[in-house]
Amino acid sequence: MNQDNQSFFSPYTLPNGVELKNRIVMAPMTNFSSHPDGTVTDAEVNYYARRSAGVSMVVTACTYVTPNGKGFHGEFGADTDEMIPSLARLATAIKEQGAKAILQIFHGGRMCPPELVPNGEIVSASDVPAEKGGVSTDEPDVKPRELTESEVEEMIHAFGDTTRRAIEAGYDGVEIHGANGYLIQQFFSPHSNRRSDRFGGSLEKRMTFPLAVVDEVKRVVKEHTSSPFIVGYRFSPEEPETPGITMGDTLKLVDTLAKQELDYLHVSLTEFFSMPRRGVENVNKTRMDHLLETINNRVPLIGVGSIYSAEDARKAFNTGVPLLALGRELIIDPDWVQKILEGKEDEIVTKLDKNKQKELVVPDPLWNIITNTPGWFPGV
């Protein structure tokens, strides 16, 4: 193995004492491949197993915590105890390959397609439609209903209930999905949260719901397991909307999250070295630099975004980030980690071979979306 790669294959110990065998994580990616009833399919289980041998930790695609939180066709569910056997199949497949299994827990909020939720009623922090990329962008008559205060409390408990199911299904941890414009982010965003109660208003008040979810998840972990259980939190650094989350807002959120005794934070980025849009004085520093400076080693940060080659990974690790997630690259080449460990980094494939779906073990729904979305994956 190239000596320059040794650092990212050294073990890493999370704050709760869990040791990861290396610094490479599989990023959460929606795969659209579950049964309509929310149970996982054989194709989905095989897809994860194929990618779990090299990495230290696998973060699953997001799973919905309530029936009205289903954000994607073919998304698997964790909203009832009946889903525990289904959830366990995925956890077992990942762990059998030697990786830690992390269940990403989520609610889509105003981004949910109405046909996937009860009575077609989508909900959010406030009754403000999404501007970009949301269902209400395409369907002007669709407007989310503002959750009542008691419903917000129920939602917080739902995240806790799903955490308990993750524990019972054999997962090593959960990742709270506070990114990509979904419900938790909708409560933090000044665009989607126009509430006047304790869950809205100032930036600090808009943190109330995300922090309450963190507290509830941690409470459930303490109550239902005696062994270390990983709790992470994923966030997006900025929103394009005005008003919207700025880099400055996110640095305040991250500063607060760094005090919450979480096991890691996970930024959601398309490009690792992307620059901030607004909200910070120094716009010549990357978002990652700003985040690492603010966190100041208080909690591990997982970086991500267009890392394909070993050289890409080396450049990313040179920023000081302790952990790195690969998403699209592990679909393109599931043996990325093994090739580097065996000194074969020149054999890494960085462009999707459209003739190798079967060999790559990618379910049909995900493959069809990838191959019909030009520019999403290199080679497509």
Cα dihedral 378, 287, 265, 158 sign: negative
Cα dihedral 131, 110, 254, 300 sign: negative
Q: How far apart are CA 45 and CA 327, in angstroms?
A: 17
Tokens of 175: 């990742």
Q: Residue 115's closest CA among 61, 36, 34?
A: 36
Give Cα separations from 175 to 57, 105, 212, 369 (angstroms). 12, 6, 15, 25
Q: Are 115 and 79 in contact (CB under 8 A)?
A: no
Give Cα separations from 304 to 241, 288, 333 (angstroms). 23, 10, 16
Residue 231: phi and psi, rounded to 5, are -125, 115
What is the chain's length?
380
- In the numeric block, the tokens 């982010």 are attached to 185
Residue 232: phi and psi, rounded to 5, are -120, 170
Residue 173: phi and psi, rounded to 5, are 180, 180
Catalytic residue among 182, 233, 264, 308: 182
Active-site residue 182, yes or no? yes
By annotation, the residues acting in catalysis are 182
